[in-house]
Structure formats: C-alpha cells, structure tokens
Structure 1
Amino acid sequence: MRVALVGNPNTGKSTLFNSLTGLNQKVGNFPGITVDKKTGTTKLPNGKHVEIIDLPGCYSLYPKSRDEAIVLEVLTNPKNASHPDLIVVVVDATNLKRNLLLFTQVADLKIPIILALNMSDAARKEKILIDVDKMSQKLGVQVVPISARKNENIELLKQAIADAPGIALQKQSIEVCEIAPALISQIKQDIRIKEDYVALLLAHQHEILDYLTEEESNHIESLEQANAFQPQHSQTKETIARYDFISTVLQESVKQMPKNIAETPTGKIDRILTHRVWGFVSFLAILLLIFQAIFAWAEYPMGLIESFFAWLDEIGRQYIPEGVLADLLLDGILAGLGGVLVFIPQIAILFGFIAILEDTGYMARITFLMDKIMRKVGLNGKSVVPMIGGLACAVPSIMATRNIESWKDRIITIMVTPLISCAARLPVYTLLISLVVPNDKIWGFFNLQGLALMGMYLIGTIGAIVVAWVMKKVIKTKEKSYFILELPVYRAPRWKNVFLTMYEKVKTFVLQVGKVIIAMSIVLWVLATYGPPGRMEAIEEKYQTEDYVNNYSEEERQFLESAEKLENSYVGILGKTIEPAIRPLGFDWKIGIALITSFAAREVFVGTMATIYSVEEPEDDTSTIRQKMLSSKDSITGKPIYTVASAFSLMIFYAFAMQCISTIAVVHRETKSWKWPIIQLTYMTALAYFSSLLVFQLLK
C-alpha cells in the first residue's frame, strides 16, 4: 500500500515522515521536474510494510507553484507512479480553520483518507479542546491526534493506516456538482473521470496537467466556452461553501479559549526579530555566527579529511608498484575522491544551520524581512540563505534553493549564486594579492591587502545582484511569483531531525555530484599526464644525459622533467593553443594551463602554479611559489608576468568564471537539464573574460 502525506507548509508533515520512516527513506525528484520526492517505508502493527511518500507542502489544490502543481498531478491522476492508495492529511491542531480547507478538497477526490491532528500538545497548552470522536463523526474519517515532534500517538496513527482499507469512504464535504453541473457531467463523460471534484479541477487546471493530452486539454477548453464557465466565480463559490462546512464542523467539535497573539512568547519575540531595524541587526548577528561556524568549525574536519587522503596517498605509493595504474589510482581517482569528500564538513554545517533555522521557525522571519529588498533585483526572500551559503561553497547553496517555490526565482538564484566568492577562491586571492599589493596600512589601521581581499568579495556580490536584475528582465514565465508565507510559532529544534537532514544532504552530494567530479578529475589527470609519445620520450632522454645527471640532483631533475612534461602534455599543448586568446588579459600559457586544470576546483590553481614553476611542497612553502612567480619573465616581452594589472586581471577572472566542475554538476542535477549549466558556463565565462580584459587594459 502507498500512503501519501499531504498538508500545508509548517504543519510538521516532514517531521511526521521522519518519525514514520526513520532512516528507511530516499530522496529523488519527481519525473521531469526538480521537486523533491521523498519516499520511505514503515512497519505497521499488523507486520505489513507500507510505502510512505511525503508530497510537497501546499495550501490548496489550486496551485500557485510547481510544488503545489505536483500534488494536484499525483492526486488526480490514478496512472501516476506516486498515486496513493491512502492519504494522511496532516493539519496544525492550533490552526484548524485554515488547514481544513485543503483537507476538504482532498477528501472530495474520494481517495481513502485519515486526518492527523499534529501539534496536539501545543493545542492543549493553548487550551484548544478538540472532541476527536465528534470531529471524526462529522467528517466521516479516522481522526488521530498526534505530536510528530514528541512521537506522541505515532503507533496509533500506524494502527489507523492498517485499519483504513476496511473503513468506508468519507462523507462529501460540499455538493461539488452544483457548482457547474453541466460542465462537470460532460468532462466526466468525455475524459472518462469518475469523481465530480476531479472533473471540476480539470476545468480549472487542465493547462498545467501533463497527463492530459493536448487534444483533451483543448476539448475541456471548448466545453468551458460552451458552458460559459467562469473560473474565478466558480472557485469563490466553492471556497465559501467549504468554509461554511468547516465552520459547522469546528462549532460542534472544538472549544477554544480566547488568546491574544501579541502576548504569546512568539508575539513577544517577533517584536524584535521582525522589527524594521532590530530585525536586520539580529539577522546580521546570526549570519556572523553561521559564517564563523562554516569557516572555523569546518576547518578542523576538513584538515582531517585532507590528512587522511594524504596518508592514503603515502600508503599507496609505498605498496602499489610504480606505473600507470598507481598514478591513475592515486593522482586521478584518489585525488578526485578527496576533492569530493573534503566538502562534507561545509555541507553538513550549512544544512545543519538551515535545518535549525527552519525547525525553530526563524527561517520564515528571514524571508519575510528580505523579500521586499530581493524582489527589486528579481530574486525572492528565500534566495537570501543560498546566497549567504555561497560564501562557503556554491554546491550546498544551490541545493538549498529547493526552498524557493517560484521556478523563475529559483532559477535566477541558482544562476547567480556561483558569483558569490566562495572559500575555494580564497587561496587564489591571497596568493595573487601577496604578489602585487604591499603589506602596508592606511590611516594606521586598515591593511591594504585586507582591503583588496574585501574588495574582491564585494565585486562578486555586486556582480550577482546586477546579473539577477538582468535575468529578471530576460527570463520570461507565465508562472506568477507568489510570496505566500506563514510565520509559525517558535519551537526548540529537534536534533534528530537536524542530524537526519545533514545526513541526507551529505549522502545526496557524495553519491550524485561525486560521481561527476571523480570522472572529470580522471579526465583532467589523463590530459595532464600524457602527451604526444615522441615529445614525452624525448624529454625523458634529455634528463638522462650527462649534463643533467652531473649538474642536478635526482630530485631537481624530477621536478624539471615534470614541469617540461606538463608543458608538452595535452593540457600544456592546450595552454599554448589558447595563449593567443588570453594574451590580451595579461596571461601566458602557464596561466592558461592553470585556468584549465583549476576547472576541477579553483584551489587547484596554487598547486598547478607550483608544479609549473617546479616548486616542492607548495602547500607548506608558499613563499617559494611567490618568489618563483615574482621572478618569472614573459618569454615574448621579457617583462615580469605578475604585475598589478595581470594579477588583478586574473583575480577578476576567477571572481566571475565558472571554474568548478562540482557546481556545474549540481546545477545539472537541480535543474534536470544541461540547458541551464551551459547558459551559466557561457555567461560567466564571457563576463569573466571581458571584465578581466577591461581591468588589464585599464591598469597596464
């Protein structure tokens, strides 16, 4: 049996899903669309296992976002792979009048249904007295009071699910056929629909339902015209009828003591956290905490992961015989795997904080505060969190855009988030700034190098805002951007839910994105290791001659040989090939190689520079890299390669360029298309090239 959980946002539906399924769950996407599909299994008291599917949160079966459209699609199409045998509608017991609107709509689809009154413990605290038996009698369904946060009555709900197949169908909440009798009858007959309410929903929503053929959709449209159907009038009539029914049910089954919302703990906290001044001050303080955590807390575990892979590399070189296989395993696959797993601490910490902010109810306040500002540049209040996370890493931040309901707002956020300077750009910035910016202070306080670094971060942020504004004008969609928001009451975070979220996000990243990163790392290793056979053999023979054997140590010969082999590898040849295109930016072929190799990850720039300039242990001896780079001369002009003009040109290039395979991989995964990653790669490369060209030509 397949059981679907349906409910408004912030009713605790996902918490109930976690309580029912635990670790027996998986996250995917609905076919052809980037909306989370969470499924899992649970064991009922009778010993049977049932499949649980957590449908996206929605306020009504008249969708205003892609998430809500998925719910409509799944529930009205019996042939859909996710169509349920039983629905559990989860409602907030402290806000029944609004939540029951969705319940009455779902009930009229005539799929077996159970009503779960979540947050029953909170309702008792607020002295809301619910007569469960009376409500069950009025609705004609099983009603189960639960608290998903406290695992209260979860076993009772499982028993209700087990009993559901033997219980008669629920009562109809309103007379749907009276809304548009002739039209409903014709749609049922012509499209072969059994239920009145499904026919009415098709009349309203046939344009967005993928399972209807174009011919069926056009036929429904013609029936609407023939019957002079007025959708807004029909929906208004239906909603009024539903609320009349809900009011009758609540009058007979609920007794509520009066309360003043402003005097509740939530109301008192919101006086500060949603204040037009103090709200932003509080938000900035929380951001500071998150930044410190992402950079400071992740540093130690990331160091451990890097040390672990360095140890594995050392062990491998001791026990695996030298040769192509050893190089492939250690320099290709192991290095690629290390590049994937080193992101885990940042991803876990970022999503841990997001889960805490959501669980406590504060995330809704952030989006409320920021929405008005963000809309001016084509974004959404919910775009704030991914863009903030982009300062650590674009990969988890792009995954975090799933909270944005509007397709257009979500796409724009995905497209501009990589412009925010991430932690991977920091080694590039610090190395280049140390080459050309003096370590002096102005006004006796501000360090010039620090100001230059801050300037690079500001440039990335400004770039993201400008591009978002342009995309707002360019990207067209019929979908309206709604900002429907409920401010839930504040609650303590559920640590089990927080850690489960962290676990799921890390697992998704490693298994889905990791495969692409490792594959591309192997490709780059092959291109940087091999070259035309004649050239490689000639280089090997050259460094075995008496001149080199007598004048250089074996270690020095190995470094010189590796540098020359890199120059003559396929990547080196590519660097020489692209040199004419990057010369106007102030770059030579060596920087060209670094641009290519650092496509795997921006941090690779430093290591590539070290290899090219034959420097030993670049991570531990960056001064040697700087000395070699400072003394390097242009082979054509004889002038220094690294000047203020070329260094800032290179930094600007890295600020705007898409130098990260993992970001491309995650954008492909989140959009389920190669169209958007290609557009993103193209516009960011063009922006990087022309910005870099402008900077070099102005400063040189």
Structure 2
Amino acid sequence: MASTIKIALVGNPNTGKSTLFNLLTGLNQKIGNFPGITVDKKIGYSKLGGDKLAEIIDLPGTYSLYPKSRDERVVFQVLADKTNASYPDLMVVVVDATNMRRNLLLYTQVADLGIPIVLALNMTDMAMKEGINVNVDKLAERLGVQVVAISARSNKGIDALKRALLNTSIATQVPGADMLALAPEAIAKSKALLGTDEDYYALQILHQHAHLDLYSTEQHQAFADIKAEHGFESSKLQAAETISRYRYLGSILSGVIVDTGALRKFAFSDKLDRILTNKFSGFLIFFLILFFVFNSIFSWSAYPMELIENGFVWLTEQGHAHLPDGVLTNLFLDGVVAGLGGIVIFIPQIAILFAFISILEDTGYMARVTFMMDKIMRKFGLSGKSVVPMIGSLACAVPSIMSARNIESWKDRIITIMVVPLVSCSARLPVYTLLISLIIPEKMIFGFINLQGLTLMGMYVISILAAIIVAFVMKLIIKAKEKSYFIMELPVYRMPRWSNVLFTMYEKSKTFVLEAGKVIIAISIILWVLASYGPPKRFNEIDKKYALIEAKKDSTAISTLERDKAAERLENSYAGVIGHAIEPVIRPLGFDWKIGIALVTSFAAREAFVGTMATIYSVDNGDEQVGTIRNKMAAAKNADTGLPVFTFATGLSLMLFYAFAMQCMSTVAVVFRETKSWKWPVIQLLYMTGMAYVASLIAFQLLK
C-alpha cells in the first residue's frame, strides 16, 4: 500500500503556484473548506515515484505570514497547528525567478517555522529571456535546501521537483535572520508558555494568537500579558523584521543573481500599459474586448448548439417511437430529457465564456482592468479589489462573494458582497440566449456586428451599471470609520497557457452541467408530476368534455383534440394552479402563468428557467412532443389575444427580471455564511426582487 505525505504549496500571488498545483495533480483534485474556516481549500493527489503518494494542498497566495485578509490568515493557521488536518510534512515554496528578492521574503518566514522545504524556482525560462541568470546551486548551498528550477507554464522541471520531494529533510536548512533579537524577553516567555524551541514560531504566536483557535482564554490572556509587560508593538516589530530579512536576503543573493536585463526587464509591459491602462484608450480597448467576447459567444456557439439541440430532438423522437407508452416513458422523455436538454445545449456558450476569462487572467490583462477601475470604483463606494469579485461574477457569484475576503475594509467588503450578485453570471446566460434568440433577429450590422451578440453584451453592461449604482447608494447608507487602501502587483504580460485554458473550459463546463444538472433533473421530475396531475375533479371534467367532442366525430375538433386536451390539463394541473395563483402579480410584467411557474422553480437555480420551459411545453404539446424548445416557445400563443406569448416587450421584461432578481438559493446561503447574519441576505433578496419587478414593469408597459 502506498504511503502518503502531505505537501503544502506556498507562495506569493502570481508566482504560478496554482499552475504547478494543476500540473502535479491533473484531474485528481477537489475543492473543500479548511476545517472551521470558510476559505477554499484546494487539495489533489500526485504520484511521486515508487510507493509514495503526495496529498498536495494549495494554500492561498500571500506576500507575508502577516495577513491582510482572511484568505492570507489561513496560511499561518495551517502551518502553526500540528493537529490541523492540513498541516504539511513538507512545503514547496514557489518563487518567481524574475522577482526573487521580494518572493524570498515569504520563504525566509516559513523556513523559520521549522518545516522541511523544497524551493521551486518558477519561470526560469522567462527570467533568462529577461537577462536574469540565477546560480541555482549556489542558492541551494546558502539556504541549505533543495532548489529546483522549473517552468510550470512549459511543464519543465516537474520530474526533478518530484524527485526532490522524495528526498527532503530539515537537517541542512540554514537559519535565517536572527528573530530573537527583535524581542528577546517576550519571545523567551512565549517559548516557555508554548513549550517550543522555535524562536520565530513563538514570535508569530505573539503577533497572531488572537486569530487562532488553538488556545484557551487563559492562554490568550497570558500572551496579552507578555506583550503588555515587554512593550510588544506588532506593527513596529513587523517593520523591523522585514528590514532585517531583506538585509539577510541581500547577503544570500549576492553573486547568486546576475541581472543583465534590468533596464529592459519590464520594457514591453510598460509600453503596453501606457496604452491598455490609459484613461481613454484603456477603457475603449476594454469595451472592444467585451464586445468581441459576447459577439463570439453567439457566433462561435451557433453550430455546436444546433447539433446538440437536434440531438435531443432525435433522442425524443426515437424515445417516443420505440419506448412503450406510459407514465415512465413520458416522465423520462418529457421531464428528465427535456429539462436536461435545455441545459446541455448551452455548454458551447459556457465553454467559450470561460475560455475568454481564462485567457484574460493568464495574459495579465485582468489585473490591468482591476487597476483601471480602482479610481472609478472608489467614487461609487467600492475599491479596486471589488473589481475581481465583480468580474468573477461573470462566471458565478458564489466564489466571487467568497473572494471578497481579500478586501480589508469591512464597508467595502459588505458593499461588494451586496452588489456582486447583480453582475450577470453564467447561470443567466442560458436565459438570455434563449430569450434573445426568440425576440432579436439573427442578422449582422455593418457586416460584422452580430445583433444578438450586441444585445447579450447590453444585458451584461446593464447588470454592471446596476451594481455600480447600488454600490453608490449603499456607500451613503452604510457607515464605517475605517479607510480602505488598494495595493496590487501588476504581473508582466505573458502568453496564455493553452492547456490551462482548455482545462478551465472542461472543468467549468463539467461543473455547470453536473451542478445545474442535479438541480434540473430534480426540478424536472417534480415539475413533470405537478404538470401531469391535478385535482381529480378538474381532470375528470376535462376527460368527459373531450370524450363528448370525440363522440360527435367532428373532424375539425378531433384534429386538434390531443393538443387542446393537453393544454387544458396542464392549465388545471397542480403546476397550473400554482402559476395561476401568482399570475395576477406578474401579469403587469407581461408574464403568463407558465412563466410564473418558471419564476418559482428557477429560484433554486436561474438556469432552471430553461429546463422548466422545456418541461412545460413538452407536457403542453400532447402528442406533438417533437421539436426544439425554441420552436415550441416561438409558436406559443396568448389564449386571450392570439398573439405570440414571447413578444419583444415580454422577452425584454423577462430578461431584465432575471438580470436583477436574486433567483439563487446558493447565493443566499453563501452571503449568510460570509456575513454570519440573516440581515444582509434578507436585505439583498428584498432590494434585488424590488429592482427586478420595477425594471420589468417599466420595460413591458413602455414597449407593449
């Protein structure tokens, strides 16, 4: 049986740590939470050779062991607690070879905690291109650890890193800067209280004990007493430590690094930045990139979506032709298959969206967008760091809300959490694209602008503007004394890692189908039952009515008998009863009772709207089950007016409703978890629902 060792990946942001994690673990990874902490924990498994299996933990990126956010705080919480399930047997410290001096500051800190280390010197190929030559052997000798030159982007040096991990101990690690000199008496008493010989560990506990759940109230008080007795001022000591460590690193790196390209190192990035972060050209380019992305989502996905759509139509045809008639066949084909087909069809669009997001992040452009937006965001009560969760919300609001932990200011963080769900996520994409295909003609403007893609971009722009306006209102309402600040590093521009882009497309599409699919199948089954059965008295009356019509042998009536009977049964089913109950409230928005059913079911997940429509119109068609969901919805007529149900006014009203309404149980749950209060999710649910209703009401009443 293979023995398992725990390995933690530690490093600054933008050092390629996550890329290395993906290389080592491949598809053998999962996401969870650190015990007792609502911070993502990425773990995976890698074979090192022989019978050794490594459990690899990707710790949040941090510049220092002194945390500025909840994510960064996790690093020391894991490394300080030997009873923690994630406590490593050894660490891989990932260092950017193009920026070693700053990166090695974190290395010197974690090395002083007394855990065996391998130093992964990443981006060595880029360093050489920039004229930076590193004497790896000399660096390893001075630090007393194995230093492995790698390039995670190019998959180079990974086997050498695995071999190093098999032969690592703490025996040769050279002590770093003298930390005992910072506060000798306080450290000595802290060591005695902790029962440890590690100076730096004792110093860190004095700094951070208040954030750790390892100690009793009496022990916390004892640490506080030590600090008070010896005038222990954390901020001054941290500054002194940083100076001491950089002085130490100066001696370590002397003769190790030869930088012949110091002047041209960032020349290319600087030239691009002058254009891409300019207050005029920068925003114009960003707008054009957004336009290209959304235009591509419609244009490039058309053919594969058509194949998937036709495939589900064929599957339904074959099912009705070859499976025995009965309840189970109808449940499977008109419930499960119809509902799932309404989601699977959108895989091409989801994959394209995530491909572009991955490319923008990989190239370093997303960091520039964050930088550009900082001044604008501050005027509306947000910081530049709020841009990251907001852009992340193009994919999903749940991880984006969790990423707001990196925002130091409580006020900025709360406002960000409250407005992030307004930014249109991938779950809204199926709703938008389905409705746009019904109400916007498929044509090109000026020969290259896709009108449907332009409309889709408009929905995303509307959602972002709404988030900014709401943030401004909340800035005036929510009071806080603390001031926020924004510090970030702009990485140099790089070519995207195409393997990483493909991996992201695969992972996100799979997650979308599996996560949404579970909800859709459950809702489709429940909905099919509710739509196929109703109060016995009502159904008996409908059966008698149509039996009389059939007995009269009226050829005109009989030709539409099954379709009319199915429509009336649906309207009087349990689902129909629910829909009619809420219809008076939503009719001013242009919605009928069938759309009302979808509004209810899609609270579990917005994308359930498509599955609900697919199920409703499959049940409604009687024996005419064949056809795509778009064709069925396009053919739907208003029983009172005889006009199409999905007019331009109704379609736009419905899109605006989904743009602003919460309609997501997962988001409600994560907001509660992040704020530790029902106050904020309730406020969020109420204001978003109110915005959605008012926007839809105005749009429909003006356009009908």
Shorter-chain TM-score range: 0.7 to 0.9
Instruction: Tell me the residue number matched to 1:416.
Output: 422
CA distance in 1, matches of 2:481, 2:518: 35
Q: Does 1:50 align with 2:54?
A: yes
CA distance in 1, matches of 2:648, 2:158: 65
Instruction: Tell me the residue number matched to 2:631.
Output: 620
What are structure 2's unaligned runs of at least 5 residues?
Answer: 408-412, 442-450
CA contact (8 A) 2:566 2:620 kept: no
CA contact (8 A) 2:671 2:681 kept: no
CA distance in 2, matches of 1:401, 1:351: 18
CA contact (8 A) 2:398 2:670 kept: no
Deviation string for 1:642-668 (max 9, x for gaps)?
A: 999988766654443345xxx544675
Q: Does 1:425 align with 2:425?
A: no
CA distance in 2, matches of 1:672, 1:539: 49
CA distance in 2, matches of 1:503, 1:449: 25
Length-normalised TM-score, structure 1: 0.84
Instruction: Tell me the residue number matched to 2:270.
Output: 267
The residue type paired with residue 542 of structure 1 is K
Among 79, 93, 96, the residue aligned to 2:100: 96
The residue type paired with residue 422 of structure 2 is V
- The 5 Å alignment of 1:53-92 reads 53-92=57-96
Instruction: Tell me the residue number matched to 1:442.
Output: none
Tell me the CA shift for residue 259 of structure 1: 2.2
CA distance in 2, matches of 1:127, 1:187: 46
The residue type paired with residue 145 of structure 1 is A
Deviation string for 1:55-80 (max 9, x for gaps)?
A: 12111111112221121211111121
The residue type paired with residue 76 of structure 1 is A
CA distance in 1, matches of 2:454, 2:10: 51
Instruction: Tell me the residue number matched to 1:109.
Output: 113
Q: Does 1:601 align with 2:608?
A: yes
Tell me the CA shift for residue 239 of structure 1: 0.8
CA contact (8 A) 2:344 2:513 kept: yes
Q: Does 1:137 align with 2:141?
A: yes
Tell me the CA shift for residue 366 of structure 1: 1.9
- Of 370-379 and 47-56, more deviation after overlay is shown by 370-379
Deviation string for 1:241-276 (max 9, x for gaps)?
A: 111111111114223235214773223322322223
CA distance in 1, matches of 2:561, 2:343: 33
- The 5 Å alignment of 1:649-664 reads 652-659=656-663, 663-664=664-665
CA contact (8 A) 2:296 2:453 kept: no
Instruction: Tell me the residue number matched to 1:485.
Output: 488
Instruction: Tell me the residue number matched to 2:156.
Output: 152
Among 178, 183, 186, the residue aligned to 1:180: 183
The residue type paired with residue 307 of structure 1 is N
CA contact (8 A) 2:598 2:608 kept: no
SS of residue in 2 equivalent to 1:143: strand
Q: Does 1:205 align with 2:208?
A: yes
SS of residue in 1 equivalent to 2:250: helix
The residue type paired with residue 187 of structure 1 is S
Distance 1:629 1:365, change over 3 A: farther
Instruction: Tell me the residue number matched to 1:437.
Output: none
Tell me the CA shift for residue 356 of structure 1: 1.7
Tell me the CA shift for residue 324 of structure 1: 2.3
CA contact (8 A) 2:550 2:558 kept: no
Tell me the CA shift for residue 104 of structure 1: 0.6
Instruction: Tell me the residue number matched to 1:40.
Output: 44
What are structure 1's unaligned runs of at least 5 residues?
Answer: 435-447, 633-639
CA contact (8 A) 1:597 1:604 kept: no
Among 335, 338, 361, the residue aligned to 2:338: 335
Instruction: Tell me the residue number matched to 1:532.
Output: 535
Distance 1:402 1:491, change over 3 A: farther
Distance 1:337 1:207, change over 3 A: farther
Q: Does 1:292 align with 2:298?
A: no
SS of residue in 2 equivalent to 1:620: helix
Distance 1:414 1:526, change over 3 A: farther
Q: Does 1:168 align with 2:174?
A: no
CA distance in 2, matches of 1:561, 1:385: 52
Q: Does 1:282 align with 2:285?
A: yes
Distance 1:189 1:563, change over 3 A: farther
CA contact (8 A) 1:350 1:396 kept: no
CA distance in 2, matches of 1:425, 1:539: 36
The residue type paired with residue 240 of structure 1 is I
CA contact (8 A) 2:588 2:697 kept: yes
Distance 1:137 1:652, change over 3 A: closer
- Of 475-484 and 184-193, more deviation after overlay is shown by 475-484
Instruction: Tell me the residue number matched to 1:439.
Output: none
Q: Does 1:362 align with 2:369?
A: no
SS of residue in 2 equivalent to 1:491: coil
State, as a whole percentage, how many aligned pairs show the same letter. 52
Deviation string for 1:287-344 (max 9, x for gaps)?
A: 2221122222223223322222222222222333222222222233223333443332
- The 5 Å alignment of 1:148-547 reads 148-165=152-169, 168=171, 170-192=173-195, 195-213=198-216, 216-257=219-260, 259-261=262-264, 264-381=267-384, 384=387, 396=396, 399=399, 405-406=406-407, 408=414, 411-412=417-418, 414-418=420-424, 422=429, 424-425=431-432, 427-428=434-435, 459-472=462-475, 483-546=486-549
CA contact (8 A) 1:332 1:521 kept: yes
Distance 1:301 1:106, change over 3 A: same
How large is the Cα RMSD of the aligned pairs?
Answer: 4.0
CA distance in 1, matches of 2:543, 2:110: 74
Instruction: Tell me the residue number matched to 1:26.
Output: 30
CA distance in 1, matches of 2:647, 2:503: 50
